[in-house]
Amino acid sequence: MQSIRLLSTGMLGIAALMIVMGGEAFAHGGDPALIHSCVNNSDGTLRLVAPTATCKRNETPADWPASAGPATSPWRVVDSQNQFVGFPVFGGSQVAREVGGVWLLLRATPDGFNWANLGVVLFTTSDCSGTPYLNAVQGFTRVVSGLDADHLMYPDGTPPQSRLISSSWGAGSCHSGLPISLLTQGAVPFDASSLSGLVPPFRLAD
């Protein structure tokens, strides 16, 4: 198999992943049940693409099933000591990692995990106090959100409930407004120190 390199992409963090083999452009066919990528024939790098995307002339499509979860990926992200970090997803800006029996989506860069500007946390109060809630999610993995690096959380997986949300925490501050009804789930605390044994830089490996 060709080597796979981890490329820094600024705000996206880990990777535009690419692998290719040459010739003409290839379409992916739009199957949402697959994770789609294009492999660069020249340097062996890989980039994740949309199901309807077309690989470039110097690329070869490489797809794999998504239904069985992140572990179906043929690539993984490892740390400087070759310890497993997670499976690359969403163009490489996040990794999927199983923690306590739950698959979580964690933002990561070649320099390590990124806990800045996480997803919003919702409250029924007007000042971001009280019980936190998260937007209801569907799918195999759950996104880690939080107020800051010391207050991370992920959806608890319970059936979504409609709640009257009056404020939200995002981008480092509280935002209040007219109450709005949203489908939400409860929040489970996540201790980032459980990942402290992983040593950057992170890179892609096959």
* Mean pLDDT of the chain, nearest integer: 78
Give residues with Cβ within 8 angstroms of 11, minimum separation 6.
none
Give residues with Cβ within 8 angstroms of 134, minimum separation 6.
119, 121, 122, 145, 153, 154, 155, 184, 185, 186, 187
Tell me the per-residue pLDDT of 11-52, one tens digit each, with 9 for 90 and over. Answer: 233 333 333 323 344 555 677 777 777 777 776 666 777 788
Rounded-to-integer distance, Cα 39 and Cα 76, Å: 15
Checking if the pLDDT of 8 tops 90, the result is no
Checking if the pLDDT of 187 tops 90, the result is yes
Checking if the pLDDT of 79 tops 50, the result is yes
Half-sphere exposure of 61 (CA within 13 A, CB side): 20
pLDDT at 10: 31
pLDDT at 27: 55
**pTM flag (> 0.75):** no
Mean pLDDT for 91-114 is 85
Q: Which residue is listed with tokens 């990124």?
A: 114
Rounded-to-integer distance, Cα 151 and Cα 133, Å: 13
Tell me the per-residue pLDDT of 111-139, one tens digit each, with 9 for 90 and over. Answer: 999 998 788 999 999 999 999 999 998 66
In the 8-state DSSP scheme, what is residue 7? -
